[in-house]
Amino acid sequence: METIPIRQLYVTRTEPALSGKFNIRKITELLDGKDMLEELHRHDFFYILALEKGAGFHDIDFNPYTISDHSVFFMRPGQVHKIGLKEGSKGYLISFRDEFYFPQDKTSGQLLRKASHFNHYQFPADSFQKLYGVLNDIFLEHSDKKERYQEAIKANLELFFIGLLRQQDNRPAAHANLYMQEQLEKFLELLEIHVFSHKQVSEYAEMLNLSTYQLNAIAKTTLGKTCLVLINEYLILESKRYLLATSGQVNQIAHHLGYEDVSYFIRFFKKHTGSSPEEFRHNFR
Q: pLDDT for 256-269, tens place per residue?
A: 999 999 999 999 99
The whole-number pLDDT of residue 175 equals 52
Start-end of CATH 2.60.120.280 domains in the chain = 6-168
* Range from 7-11, 23-27, 256-260, 278-282 carrying the lowest mean pLDDT: 7-11
Tell me the backbone φ, ψ of residue 283, rounded to 5 degrees. Answer: -70, -40
CATH number of 6-168: 2.60.120.280
Sheet holding 46-53, edge to edge: 22-26, 90-96, 46-53, 71-75, 120-122
Helix (H) or strand (E) holding 41: strand 36-43
Backbone φ and ψ for 188, nearest 5 degrees, come out as: -65, -35
pLDDT of residue 17: 53
Nearest partner of 94 among 130, 142, 144, 147, judged by Cα:
142
pLDDT at residue 168 is higher than 90: no
d(CA 94, CA 135): 9
Say if domain 179-284 classifies as CATH 1.10.10.60: yes
Question: Rounded distance, CA 220 to CA 213, Å?
Answer: 10
Instruction: Please state the rounded mean pLDDT for residues 144-161.
Output: 94
pLDDT of 171 over the 80 cut: no
